[in-house]
Structure 1
């Protein structure tokens, strides 16, 4: 029994650092023989090929591959109907990793008619789809391998330091993901230090922006594979901003890692995680992608830091373990293809 996973992101050299890839790989380890396919038509972002054509050139290979598979599982930021889906014969599970967001009712209904189950990250997403008459849905919450992370306080003499670990795919995302706003905040707040974890793309552009802002002494750019837990030991909190819900996962891995490591987070209200952060007081919701809003959130975080930090440590390990994500997804697969689905057991297609 195996699954053919489809990702709509570039298969670049640092693709394994992406949360969606990590989710697919975690499931792949549970199901021998499963494969990961990239519907995105390039190893670099910025393709000019319209989304409607993604996967079309792969169809002969995908049709051969699915003969050995029992189902397809597509991970895409939003609900978008790829015409290539019409040619696949095995059942399809479709995960909208950022939620319903700005998806139109017509598009959501089009996807629901072609797939077996739509997976969304929150109950609110599920309720919105139900209001549109779409009931072939499931809610599966994100999770990470919590064994890789543990709390370490930053050095006693360390300046207040924020980590951002969701690098941009395009130049436009320097603005939309708040990177420019963060650099502007550091210019206004001389005690603030920043650590950015990068993934190979646009590194020279980032170095140029750091230099132009005269922040080389207070901004660290790590454009390499690192032990994230070690980096978290150097910071007080993590931040991830987005002015559009489709830019990042509803529950971004970098912020879950921070919470599991006992470090509070700063997050935009466009992400579903923002409601969780506010309810559990394990960080602060940043009202806008601007230096002014970041400064206000920073002041709030610092004024009550001990409380936010203790709450992050208490809830992170409790709520975001990877096993619940794996168990829920495998249980869904059984509803799709039948009770004979047992990971590790070969089942004739």
Structure 2
């Protein structure tokens, strides 16, 4: 089986710091896959029209697609890139983030032509199946959480005083300070002296975030780390992970930073925009934000600090082995086989 992977994002500035790229690389290594990045620039902050994605590398894409059994497109949302009409091989399309409530969906020839539309959550699966699509598959992300699971018995509960938060979904563009909830989170730290934060950046905007921290006068309670980090080591001294994205298309539906926290037995604070919030709300392993602002974040963190036991205990409902790379690989191999057979029919 030979698979051509087409990613709408450029490779990460720091290797190993992008969840989607990690999963794609794992898959590519198991199927003799080739990876082509549709974005023509190394910096994702440089804007480029979605409709033109892939055109700068079209000869390479068409040549490699002709030699492949399946073409696997990976994009945060479900977008019909025009160049895909030229590809004759079966196409598997993974929505790596979420469709979101604002995305108007209708059944089209493009969706019908896809060998499979892959999502990772029941929200998106339900929306697509309501359109009458029969090519929808749900696959959990694949992330090795074993070292985080070893921390489950090592955590200490907050004592009702300060609660130590982790934010590890860094902004790649200026607009993501708002859409990933970073600005609201920093304002939340300023709103409550009981909150401390470890903020992990990924090689971009460190000076800007430190300037924001200085303006809010919270430098004594915020630690900024940059580059590749041992998140499991950091987690030993932290109580809770936060991801307050205001839109579902800027992070994975099951963000790695929250999966890591849950595997380690730490509760999470997450916005209701993200599909993972359905699990958080049902299991009680954290708090779901109805609105993203400083007050809501501070109130949620203080609620966990005041009565931590129920939230920490509820993290046991998270079955981390369901998100292993092996499970993901097995699921995609079955999808690739079915797609290839459909292409040969």
TM-score after normalising by structure 1: 0.90
> Quick check: 303-312 or 285-294, which moved more?
303-312
1:66-106 deviations in Å (ceiling 9; x for gaps): 23321111111111110111122221100112232232224
Q: CA deviation at 1:155?
A: 9.5
Q: Deviations over 1:17-61 (max 9, x none)?
A: 111111111212322x21121111211023332100000111111
- Match of 1:88? 87
Tell me which residue corresponds to 2:266.
Answer: 263
Runs of 4+ in 1 over 3 A off after TM superposition: 154-159
> Is it true that 1:75 corresponds to 2:74 in the alignment?
yes
Residues 276-287 of structure 1 aligned to structure 2 (within 5 Å): 276-287=279-290
Contact residue 9 and residue 40 of structure 1 kept, 8 A: yes
Within-5 A mapping of 1:48-127: 48-101=47-100, 102-106=102-106, 109-127=108-126
SS for the counterpart of 2:99 is coil
2:303 paired residue among 287, 300, 304: 300
Q: CA RMSD in A?
A: 2.1
Alpha-carbon separation, structure 2, partners of 1:2 and 1:159? 52
Residue of 203, 225, 229 corresponding to 1:226: 229
Residues paired across the two proteins, number: 337
How far did residue 119 of structure 1 move? 0.7
Give the whole-Å Cα distance in 1 for the aligned partners of 2:16 and 2:228.
10
Of 301-310 and 241-250, the range deviating more from structure 2: 301-310
Q: Shift of the alpha carbon at 1:126?
A: 2.2
Instruction: Give the direction of change, closer, same or farther, for the CA distance of 1:111–1:270 in structure 2 (3 Å limit).
Output: farther
Q: What SS does the aligned partner of 1:257 have?
A: helix
- Structure 2 residue matching 1:17: 3-state secondary structure: coil
Report if aligned partners of 2:45, 2:174 keep a CA contact under 8 Å in 1.
no
Distance of 2:319 and 2:237 partners within structure 1: 18
Q: 1:81·1:110 contact (CA, 8 Å) conserved in 2?
A: no
Deviation of residue 174 (structure 1)? 1.1
Counterparts of 1:308 and 1:189, CA distance in 2: 20
CA positional deviation for 1:325: 1.8
Match of 2:17 in 1: 17
Within-5 A mapping of 1:132-211 = 132-149=131-148, 150-151=150-151, 152-153=154-155, 159-211=162-214
Q: What SS does the corresponding residue of 1:284 show, helix, strand or coil?
A: strand
Instruction: Report whether the alignment pairs 1:332 with 2:332.
Output: no
Structure 2 unaligned segments of length 5 or more: list them: none
Moved more, 72-81 or 314-323: 314-323
Contact 2:162 2:194 in 1 (8 A): yes
Q: Which residue of 2 aligns with 1:309?
A: 312
Structure 1: 5+ residue stretches without partners: 340-349
Contact 1:59 1:87 in 2 (8 A): no
Change in CA separation of 1:124 and 1:172 when aligned onto 2, cut-off 3 Å: closer
For the residue of structure 1 that corresponds to 2:129, the secondary structure is helix
In the alignment, what sits opposite 1:345? none
Distance in 2 of aligned mates of 1:66 and 1:209:
46
Q: Secondary structure at the match of 1:309?
A: helix
Please point out which of 242, 246, 259 is paired with 2:245: 242
The Cα of 1:159 is off from its aligned counterpart by 4.1
